[in-house]
Amino acid sequence: MRGLRLLALASLPFIVGPALAQSTGTVTINGSVADRCLFTTPSAVIALGELTNGGGAADSGKLDPSRVNGQNRTLVGWCNGTAATMAVEAQPLLNSDFTGPAISGFDARVDYTATALANGVSALDSSTAETPGNPAEIGLFTGNVVVTLSAASTPTSGLLVAGNYGGQVLVTLAPNVSFGGE
């Protein structure tokens, strides 16, 4: 009987004794996403073909603006920063075959305005400007960047020199904010 009482007393502290104290540790989880922009379809081609008016009209051999104006192509991109911008730089169509001095009555350059539309915001530039156009704020954006040409002209409204003409429109998406760390 005495052994039974000792056994009962020995088990009593575990039953009625204080609970073991708890302790909690913490694991903090951190990460970041860099502020960036990316073109997923970064290039397109506008093939204008013959740039001049044909036939025997008075403006035959001169730029036909309708061959340039309204031409457009779509790039696709995204920016994940709220302060992202888009800027356009229109570079003139220059005759790559003609290297001589300017000749009175002829032009070897076609100028135009390029407008990029993304996220409901437009940015533009004229190929006659020395610097790119002003950046436009597009913010968080994913989707199409539609580039459209307009206002085609030549410096003197002269006859275009025969040859191949080439130019380009540069569209720059920029995040404009850096939160550091990657």
pLDDT of res. 148: 98
pLDDT of res. 116: 98
Domain 34-174 maps to which CATH number in 2.60.40, 3.40.1350, 3.40.50, 1.10.3470? 2.60.40
64-97 pLDDT, tens per residue?
999 999 999 999 999 999 999 999 999 999 999 9
Identify which has the larger pLDDT, 128 or 3.
128
Cα gap 158→160, rounded to integer Å:
6
3-state secondary structure the chain: CHHHHHHHHHHHHHHHCCCCCCCCCCCCCCCCCCCCEEEEECCCCCCCCCCEECCCCCCECEECHHHCCCCEEEEEEEECCCCCEEEEEEEEEEECCCCCCCCCCEECEEEEEEEEEECCEEEEEECCCCCCCCCEECCCEEEEEEEEEEEEECCCCCEECCCCEEEEEEEEEECCCCCCCC
pLDDT of res. 19: 65
Of the ranges 11-15, 20-24, 130-134, which is most confident? 130-134
pLDDT of res. 15: 54
Quick one: average pLDDT of 95-113? 94
Per-residue pLDDT at 60 exceeds 60: yes
Q: Which two tokens stand for residue 80?
A: 């994940």
Per-residue pLDDT at 182 exceeds 50: no
Identify which has the larger pLDDT, 160 or 55.
160
pTM score: 0.82
